[in-house]
Structure 1
């Protein structure tokens, strides 16, 4: 039987270890990250059935992080917070948290909430095939299922071909692709179009729409119209 995986995101190592060693057993593996950046990268790359995170992480807007996580995967999120303010609790729940637990808390209560959320997730577990999202930090997310791409949290207004081209490039991040390769995958060898002109014009429009990020995602590689997609990283 495949083990369940739990992710803890908290900059307090003692809390991470306390929860980890209380939940780790023969059916559950528990991982932890001490920063939002590391936590989001682990969340995007691996399949977890629960996230336990502190909303007091100082390096980022945690509510933005919650929304980004909720956009990527429908995984239960248990939030820990030292704040008893109702506004923060409401904001966290609206942003994507399922349970809000105030610090200091009883470890048994935290574990009970965790087990409840994991049980609910297992019972309502979505089909894996429904989710195919490319995530590059919190800068860019490309959701194939919904045919939607977001840049720094804002939806990109892309045509069908522009989206397909972006998805193709991002799916081969770090690999050099020729215009002909892109054309064959995105246009399916449609003979009504000129290879170089079609790809060049769409790349030009796509670059323009990615300009607000302040980062050059699509780079020209010397030697005959070859392109390279370099993903941004969460900062």
Structure 2
């Protein structure tokens, strides 16, 4: 991907300047918007590769912007907000945001989050081109057609729930999935059993992680949910 286009939605002039200067020094192209209405128009007309979004805009809440964009696009959305409560993070992620960065933030961390999103875009594009049923992440492989999982070229046995959880994470590499989203997708609307979800995640980790205390594939976001990391091959 050559010179990705980033849409920066931020009404604070100083923070907007910090972000755009950082993007420019890294060779990214960018456009900016200072209001929710302008961000929607820019998203439609510019078709950016990634949106960096502040939630506290003068005319519209950022969560509503996420919901609107998600009605027509799966473009990665990275929230950069002063709201630090778990509820705010969960609301944004449940609405469809891919990542959440709390102000104040370091430019190095922002760039790292951008790289994660760009890797996800490349992976999704490659997957579409190959039209393959085989998922590979480091030494972990999933054959969706056969319903089989391999680690280090050895097939591992997963329970049906563990397999569903792993596939959901694999199909959303780099994206934080909230507890509520996972529970709804795996068990349906009636489920709110987060402790049970933690148990299933713990057993899944024991099977796919060499050291579950230092996970390589599944990252926990305490109080929020889980994310599958893009792992290099050993």
Using the size of structure 2 for normalisation, the TM-score is 0.50
Listed as ranges, the gaps of 5+ residues in structure 1 are 128-235
Please give the alpha-carbon distance, in whole angstroms, between the structure 1 residues aligned to 2:25 and 2:122.
17
Listed as ranges, the gaps of 5+ residues in structure 2 are 129-234
Indicate yes or no: 2:35 matched with 1:13. no
Is the Cα contact below 8 Å between 2:7 and 2:43 reproduced in 1?
yes
Q: Deviations over 1:64-99 (max 9, x none)?
A: 210111122110000011111111110000011111
- 3-state SS of paired residue (1:75): coil
Q: Deviations over 1:95-151 (max 9, x none)?
A: 111111111111111111012112211221387xxxxxxxxxxxxxxxxxxxxxxxx
Could you say which residue in structure 1 is the equivalent of 2:79?
Answer: 79
For residues 163-174 of structure 1, the aligned pairs below 5 Å read none
Please give the alpha-carbon distance, in whole angstroms, between the structure 1 residues aligned to 2:40 and 2:72.
10
For residues 97-176 of structure 1, the aligned pairs below 5 Å read 97-125=97-125
For residues 208-227 of structure 1, the aligned pairs below 5 Å read none
RMSD (Å), alpha carbons: 2.1
Could you say which residue in structure 1 is the equivalent of 2:51?
Answer: 51
Is the Cα contact below 8 Å between 1:89 and 1:100 reproduced in 2?
yes
Is the Cα contact below 8 Å between 1:44 and 1:72 reproduced in 2?
no
Equivalent pairs, count: 128
Could you say which residue in structure 1 is the equivalent of 2:179?
Answer: none
Is the Cα contact below 8 Å between 2:35 and 2:60 reproduced in 1?
no
In structure 2, do the counterparts of structure 1 residues 26 and 60 end up closer, same or farther at CA, with 3 Å as the change threshold?
closer
Indicate yes or no: 2:71 matched with 1:61. no
Using the size of structure 1 for normalisation, the TM-score is 0.50
Please give the alpha-carbon distance, in whole angstroms, between the structure 1 residues aligned to 2:109 and 2:25.
18
Please give the alpha-carbon distance, in whole angstroms, between the structure 2 residues aligned to 1:27 and 1:58.
30
Is the Cα contact below 8 Å between 1:55 and 1:80 reproduced in 2?
yes
